[in-house]
Amino acid sequence: MLVIVAPGQGAQTPGFLVPWLEDPTFASRFAWLSTVAGLDLAHYGTEADAETIRDTSIAQPLLVATSLVAALELFPHPSDAFAQIGAVAGHSVGELAAAAGARTITAEQAMVLVRERGRAMADAAAATPTGMTAVLGGDREEILAALATHGLTAANDNGPGQVVAAGTRDQLAALAAAPPAKARLVPLSVAGAFHTEHMAPAVEHLGTLGRSVSVHDPRTRLISNRDGQVVHEGKEVLRRIVGQIAHPVRWDLCMETMADLGVTGILEMPPAGTLTGIAKRALKGVETFALKTPDQLHDARDFCAKHGEASEMGTSPTWRMVVSPAKGTFHIAGDAADVDVLPAGAAIGDVASLRDRILVTAAHGGQVVEWLVEDGDLVSPGQPLLRLHPEGAA
């Protein structure tokens, strides 16, 4: 099982794009996305210093454009990717790249959204002096209690031994003065308290824009930052991406879902290293590949071929399929078991796991063609549950 992941803000380093832009095809595609974003991203990826590319309004479009164009280098025929990729995920802003890679939105839509996301988050960050600090090591419960004491948010939960605290500068200073036992604090080079209530104005702005974005259901499993669930309805993917701006990133739960899927290989898009580093600590036995430079592309394709396995979603139109959001036991809703037609949004059942019970709905509705599971079956994330045919379709 192959999972492709896209990094978030903070992964960028000065000059990381220099070797990539030596390829005329990469440079041409990158110039197109730069034009859509209205930024000279080639300059920022080759000549700008660390402080310049730390700017949220620059860093976010730079990262998304890089992931999208590098994906076309890795899979020159994009349709071939879906015969190998079992799931995609992106950390924070990387989720926009993942959504475009899964064909939920276009690359151009992703660039417009990330441009506006970056600007809006930069504006929100400028309103109040805020920041983020990585809390490494220590006891998880003690760390969360310490954050609560100081009014801080666990904005990124990246798995064992890595929680990122976010809040005002004063709150972070108070945490630094009294750190949790056995924990090391590392202030992050970011412009504000991302994924907290401080970003609420950015959510409102992007939500307004999002209402005009046309979407498609993902072509492969898309693992959501919000709770690690597999999301398979285009509008829900976009809603989560917008809300995620002011909501903590639960990368730990994303990795739990990868483990539930039986992941054997994780490939991180450039500028890679952060997410594969986390995976090495949290997902023992899973091979990783950090794609950093174009001279690795041949080996990266071999890695994909080794671990590649098509998603169970196949190539059927995904709007005809209802899939499981998580691993657990599926229970069919009584009202759904014996009907021939389901209205849009109707509940078809729920998936019960050790952690919670998740309602499953038929987002599009339609005529029931075939139940693909039975009541009480164990299901995996993204597993097809029900095949529907749109009402009135020939």
Residues serving a catalytic function are 92, 195
3-state secondary structure of 116: helix
List, in order, residues 6 or more apart from 301 with CB less than 8 Å away: 74
Side chain identity, residue 265: G
Query: Are residues 223 and 381 in contact, defined by beta-carbon separation less than 8 angstroms?
Result: yes
Handedness of CA 243, 228, 62, 152 (dihedral sign): positive
**DSSP state letter for 271:** S
User: What's the token pair of residue 319?
Assistant: 């709007």
DSSP states of 185-212 as a string?
Answer: EEE---SS-TTSGGGHHHHHHHHHHHTT
Q: Report, in angstroms and rounded to the nearest whole number, the Rg of the chain calculated over CA atoms.
A: 21
Residue 259's CB is within 10 A of a number of other CB atoms, namely 15
Rounded to whole angstroms, the Cα distance separating 251 from 188 reads 17
Strands 328-332 and 230-231: unpaired
Residue 279's CB is within 10 A of a number of other CB atoms, namely 24
Residue ranges with strand state E in 106-251:
130-137, 153-157, 162-168, 183-187, 221-223, 230-231
Side chain identity, residue 186: V
Is residue 377 exposed (0-12), middle (13-18) or buried (19+ Cβ within 10 Å)? middle
Strands 287-290 and 341-342: unpaired
